[in-house]
Every structure is written in C-alpha cells, then in structure tokens.
Amino acid sequence: MGAMRKVLNWYARLSPSRGKTSPPYEHVVQIGDPRLRKVSDPVPVDKIKSEEVQKVINKLRLVLHKYGSVGMSAPQIGVNMRMFVMRHTAKQISAVPPEIAKSKGMSVVPFTVFINPKIKVVDYQKVIYMEGCESVQGYSAEVPRYREVEVTGYDENGESATRVFKLWPARIAQHEMDHLDGKMFTDLMERRTLTCACWEEVNLSKGKVVIPFNPE
C-alpha cells in the first residue's frame, strides 16, 4: 500500500461556496460516501408532485446531462430516495463503433424517470461486459447482468409505468436499481478485470494525469 496523498483541491479552496453545498447536489458523490451504501427510502406516492421530489428529479436530469451519462440515481446526488433516471440517445450510441453497439444490444431509450421501481427478471441468462459508474470515476470492470428485465414504478407525474428492457438498456436499469439498495458494480464485478480507464495515459504523461470528478 502506498502513502496516502492529500487530495489536491485548489479550486474548492478558492470557491466561496466550499462546505456550503447541500443535496440534491449538482455533482456525483464518490464510492466511500455512506449514502451510496444505504437502502434508500420509498417516495410516498402523494409526494411525487411535491416541490421537494420534483427538485430532486430536475437535479437528476441536470446531472445526467452534465456528466453525459446514461443513468443516474438519487443516492448519487446525495439523496436517499428510491428514484433513478435513464436515457440512451442516438448521439451517445453513435459515439460507439457500430459493431460494438450492435453486439452489446444498445438501443435508443428516451429520458425516463422511475420512482419506487421494482425489477423483475424476464431472462435469467447473464451477459458480461465492461461497465462503469459516475460514482467510481475513472474505473470500469466486467459485470454480469441479466439479459432482460421488466421495471415497474411511477413516473415524474405519479403515474404507474412499466417498461421492458433488453441487453444494454437492461444493464443500465439493473445498475441504477442497485444504487437504490446500496449496491455498487464493484460488488458484482469480476475483480481481476477492474481497469483504470486512463492507465495508458498515465504512462504517456509519466503519471501527470488527473481524473476529473466534475466534467465542467
């Protein structure tokens, strides 16, 4: 084990708002934050249209877009409510080589909000691919996921909604669902496949590379 180094945090020290942030955040909390390990609380259905819950939904949408992610759960912005959002745009998919997008079963998913979701496995066959998480910034690993699932919950208007997801969208839904139960992909990963996304860059830059925890 190496010496613990102090985290360089010049920008935060310059910021007058340091220490004053409160959830829902506009950044994504990182593994080690105890909120990522809690079983989140259900949202009372009659509270879905409340200002408090709508604020969390709006922040989830904002952070999802800011980070360019395909899924984001409330615990990741510091709120232990059972809610997540997901989407996969044609533009995001077109950034992946077509043969890979096809083999992974990627397909367009419109922006979708799930509140108090329940997941039912439709196809128990598991598919293994590399997966990452905005709360484990800079790392990815192979994770087995069910091939097809059905998610039932409430949408942002408090209406009940059911969606069936196959392959990549099913992976996104299972990943986000796990966050609501305090689980991370690192609990399920094939441990020897854990990879730092920038390991090659570390060598090219002689170690002078940083992992950004906020894309702005």
Closest CA to 121 of 164, 157, 153, 161: 164
ω into 24 cis (within 30 of 0): yes
Query: What are the CA-CA distances from residue 106 to residues 22, 59, 68, 74, 87 (Å)?
Result: 35, 25, 16, 24, 11
**Smallest gap, in angstroms, from Cβ of residue 36 to Co ion?**
9
**Smallest gap, in angstroms, from Cβ of residue 140 to Co ion?**
11
Residues noted as catalytic: 176
* For Co ion, the closer CB: 47 or 130: 130
**Smallest gap, in angstroms, from Cβ of residue 83 to Co ion?**
14
- 153 SS3 class: strand
- Asked if 180 is part of the footprint of Co ion (rule: CB under 5 A), the reply reads no
- Write each residue from 130 to 149 as x if it is in contact with Co ion (CB under 5 A), else as -, in one continuous string: ---x----------------
- Asked if 172 is part of the footprint of Co ion (rule: CB under 5 A), the reply reads no
* For Co ion, the closer CB: 106 or 180: 180
* For Co ion, the closer CB: 83 or 133: 133
**Smallest gap, in angstroms, from Cβ of residue 178 to Co ion?**
8
- 194 SS3 class: coil
Name the residue with the smallest CB distance to Co ion: 133
* For Co ion, the closer CB: 167 or 172: 172
- Write each residue from 114 to 133 as x if it is in contact with Co ion (CB under 5 A), else as -, in one continuous string: -------------------x
- Write each residue from 187 to 216 as x if it is in contact with Co ion (CB under 5 A), else as -, in one continuous string: ------------------------------
Question: Which amino acid is it at 126?
Answer: K
185-190: long-range contacts, CB 8 A cutoff, minimum separation 24: 185/131, 185/132, 185/133, 185/136, 185/141, 185/143, 186/31, 186/136, 186/141, 188/143, 188/144, 189/131, 189/141, 189/142, 189/143, 190/128, 190/141, 190/142, 190/143, 190/144
Note the residues at the interface with Co ion (CB under 5 A): 133
